[in-house]
Chain A
Amino acid sequence: MRIEREHIAGLSCSRRIIDLKREMLEEPRYATIEQACIVTESYKESEGEPRCIQRAKALKAALEKIAIRIEPDERIVGNRTAGVRGGVVFPETGASWIDREFETLPTRPQDQFQVHPEDIDTFRREIMPYWKGRSLEDQVRAAVGTKVNAIAKVVKVNQKDHSQGHICPNTEKWLRLGPSGLREEAQSHLKDAEGKQKDFYESVVLSMEGASAFMERYAALARKLYQETGKENLAEVAGACAKLAVAPAESYQEALQSTWFLYVILQREGNASSFSPGRMDQYLYPYYEHSREQGMTLDDALELTECLWLKFNQLVYLRNSNSAKYFAGFPIGFNVAIGGQKEDGSDASNDLSYLFLQAQSHLLLPQPNLSLRIYRDSPQELLETATRVISLGSGMPQVFNDEAVIPALESHGISHEDAVNYAIVGCVELTTHGNTLAWSDAAMFNLLKALELTLNHGVDLLTGEKTGLDLGDLTIYETFEELEAAYAKQIDYFSDRMVECVTQVETMHEKLLPTPFLSAVIDDCLAKGQDVTQGGAHYNFAGVQAIQVANVADSLAAIKYMVYDEKRVSREELLHALQTNFEGEDLLRSTLIKKVPKYGNDVDWVDELGVKWVNYFADGLKKYRNGRGGIYQMGLYTVSAHVPMGQNVGASADGRRAKDPLADGGVSAMYGRDTNGPTALLQSVAKLPFEKASNGTLLNMKFLPQFFKTDAGIRKFTELLRAVCRLGISHIQFNVLNKEDLLAAQEKPENYRGLTVRVAGYTAYFTELARDLQDEIIARTTYESA
């Protein structure tokens, strides 16, 4: 075993992979309407049929007709578009925003796409007229738009113009049965089914027929290219695709190819932010072992893995400009989890865990979103290998802690068996394998904005509009406790309204966007004869993110200390300073920043304020049920939303100026204010109720490369990881870079196109981020070793 691992660490990146990577990155990204045209045509033909049948027919048509391409050197094939990294226009969910923003796609600040001018005309002529008033976006707006807008500054309700995603399908079952096996399973149910269930099973059969046809098209194209070029890899590809169309995978290459087809088709059907493969080192291992026995070399296994790794980077996600600010850098969240424990508590890591780490160290690309699961007895070798990969600065693997995650899932009704087998979807959201619709990104709740409204008669400091409850203002609350009581009411007010909106959005998805292909790979949909959007999954959650603990704790601490306890500033003065964005109040602002202890420094009374309000919010969610009958879960992460959410908030008592970003990540300290070093930050973070944050949490830490230069440094870092594990912190991720790198990258982006940076729950290309987000990343605390 030991020798095998050392061999893996010595494997180099093949010429094929280097060339494929270069070609991929050189190819420009385009927005494409090809699928939109096919789908719209199909909808017109199937008018009047049940929605799930319409959706299945549209998917099938796209799978049968859309242009496909194979690069001559590829060993794993398949894409949503003939080009790579294409932005797929998906009118079923959102056509109006495309109509509004089409021309701006090449020049907008975040997530740009090239556009073929003739596509804009075609879109407006052929596609837009059909979807006007029919798309999810338009129907949601008609049904609940006013209510959504009324709370928008505090609560961002998601999934209004795109599919939900954040799903880990049952890939193991897909590999075992393939599209033909799943089609047969649906057909066997179909015999006795009636009504809606019959429609559902029929829609699954249609989807699977489309899937097989898609694979056969790739087989045919590969055969043709093989005849033209004589390249052996194309013969292999042709064989694998032809087989997978009718039979399950057997070899490692077939399993990788089959896995990739699953995710391409899921995205073709769903166009969603993230379908995640989950624990690939577990379910692919039998295929790997089989092929190794048949003579596959480690070099070959690595190259095949890296071919899939490149593929994960070829699908991106076209969001509207506002959403692109919240989720910058086209995260599509192919989240792959390695390591962790088996159900019996024994170590789950294997050769594939190490091969995946080696692939990451070679490619350093944003996808897959590689996640390392650690637990009390994680092997030192695994932690050291992972640390060496982290030290390369791609932000991966991010680290999840079984000791915190498993109990959190179990306390939300998940069985031990499923909890131990947890995976990560999207960025940092937690899920079981193959049987959950977690609706992880139902909404983001800006607790700091709710505090602002509480301090100021429910009136927005930025706009002067009254959007919250008028409970008084800071000058009226005689004690800190009175202020807290008002704050609680304000949170309740917005929570009620949030749930109402989320439920309506969910209902629209059920009505408009059933996903039969996905439902076939989520247990118990086939057994129940129910689509996932109807509640067919075994587990049904909805997730809301509480944002942002650092700013809430720091602001309340400043008010408590400066106003009520020490009386260093009057209530009138502080309120006035907030209302005027600290105009002429630099000394007060500096005092608020420098003289009041901050969250992230292991100061109990401040940290406890954060804990208190996180608890309050999480407990408040318990009384609600989501549209599929499941419970709500709280998350503590923002992705990149701390920047736009900060733009919505006026000056805050923590000394933050109006519109400045909030603390990053989720549970991180406000940047630059965690001055007692990483252990104090982690001690503060560890006080949070992670057992209640079962939707996922996010902690960013940044290290300079010097820390990892020696073996002793690597070992010390693993000790930090083990401490994180003992402290019960769910998640942590590391940026390793120096400031000069980043400043240089801003000056000469062309020289840094490959530079990846951990934004939040995912890695993006630094040069593709908007300038303010770049600045913000540079400003975050960098730990030099003491």
Chain B
Amino acid sequence: MTGVIFDIKRFAVHDGGGLRSTLFLKGCPLHCPWCQNPEGMKRAPWLWYSPQECLRCGTCVAACPHGALTLDDRIHVNRERCDLCGICEKTCPGGALERTGREIEAEEAARILLRDRVFFGEHGGVTLSGGEALSQWKFAVEVLARCKKAGVDTAVETCLYAPREAVEAMIPVTDHFLIDIKILDPELHRKYLGVDNHLILENYEMLVRRGADVLVRTPLIPDYTAFEDNIRGIAHYIYGVDPDAEYELLNFNPLCRSKYAALEEEYPVEGGILSAEEMAVYYAILREEGIPHIIKE
């Protein structure tokens, strides 16, 4: 069983308990305008260019057999011509060109993830993230099954926009579900993320019914998710589903702007990290709605 991944991050400290290794699976059914990992959105591999590593030497332009690269103040990739042959990646002296996205056997993925097992201790382990981990759920199940078999704690970061059978298959191999509920209003959800949230909420309720360990998270994105009605609505809803719910608000992280610049795309979110005062307002809302376990990083 193979899957397509775009990164393996070791020493991950924000993807669950303890020290973890996180596998990023490629492809996502949602289209969040603020996505932190745009390289993970599409399943297909992609030629990634890092302007800050680029020496502007033109070696790649000369080497490309398809004429897909041009150089002015930076390299531009003609995506129609590029067939991801990898010649530019090999010849680039600066390491500025890289194909993101590679196919990997589940066994190999598990082996790499378990390489840092000595760091996991009691609380750490392996996390699957993305993209959307459940967009390749059969692969995800196999990777986690191997990790569980090795006695390692497992977690999944998911938006839960996946068939019910996928979520059910994950339950036996997943110790912790870290799920995103980003927007409660179905209309807004459709408008911004491109899909309805009905399936997400159904899967969430099913996980709670089945007694899974679930942490709900909402990324606070200025103008998209970070407004009172949304946060109060989500808090109210999850308290209704699970009076013992754990809920975490993730502060906006604008660091991904440079990724969009590299892609020559606009990043649509204005503004920066929310201040401690702004965060305090949202925490107060959570308390008002009765959320018993407010998680703060």
Residues of A within 8 A of B (CB): 586-588, 590-591, 594-595, 602, 676-680, 682-683, 707, 710, 712-713, 715-716, 719-720, 722-723, 726-727, 783, 785-786
Contacts and interface: CB of A to CB of B under 8 A. Distances in A.
Nearest to A566: B90
- Nearest 5 A-B pairs (CB), nearest first? A594-B95, A677-B11, A590-B93, A591-B93, A723-B119
B124 A587 contact: no
Nearest to B116: A679
Given A678-B11, A726-B118, A716 B95 contact: no
B14 A723 contact: no
B115 A683 contact: yes
Given A719-B123, A719-B124, A723-B121, A590 B11 contact: no
A720 B95 contact: no
Nearest to A718: B121
A587 B58 CA distance: 11
Most buried by A among B12, B19, B124: B19
Interface in B223-249: none
Interface of B: 9-14, 18-19, 21-22, 53, 55, 57, 59, 93-95, 115-116, 118-119, 121-124, 296-297
24 contacts: A587-B55, A587-B57, A588-B93, A590-B93, A590-B94, A594-B93, A595-B95, A678-B11, A679-B10, A679-B19, A679-B116, A683-B115, A683-B116, A712-B297, A715-B18, A719-B18, A719-B119, A719-B123, A719-B124, A720-B119, A723-B118, A785-B14, A786-B12, A786-B22
B256 to A, nearest CB: 14
Contacts of B12: 786
Contacts of A680: 10-11
B250 to A, nearest CB: 14
A785 B12 CA distance: 7
A715 B22 CA distance: 19
B7 to A, nearest CB: 10
A679 B13 contact: no
A567 to B, nearest CB: 13
A726 B117 CA distance: 11
A602 B13 contact: no
A719 B12 CA distance: 13
B119 A786 contact: no
A727 B115 CA distance: 12
A713 B297 CA distance: 8
A707 B12 CA distance: 12
B10 A676 contact: yes
A722 B297 contact: no
Contacts of A586: 55
Nearest to A719: B121
A280 B273 CA distance: 47
A586 B9 CA distance: 30
Nearest to B55: A590
Most buried by B among A588, A591, A713: A591
A594 B296 contact: no
B73 to A, nearest CB: 18
A594 B98 CA distance: 12
B111 to A, nearest CB: 13
A434 to B, nearest CB: 35
Contacts of B11: 677-680, 783, 785-786
Given A710-B297, A716-B18, A719-B124, A677 B93 contact: no
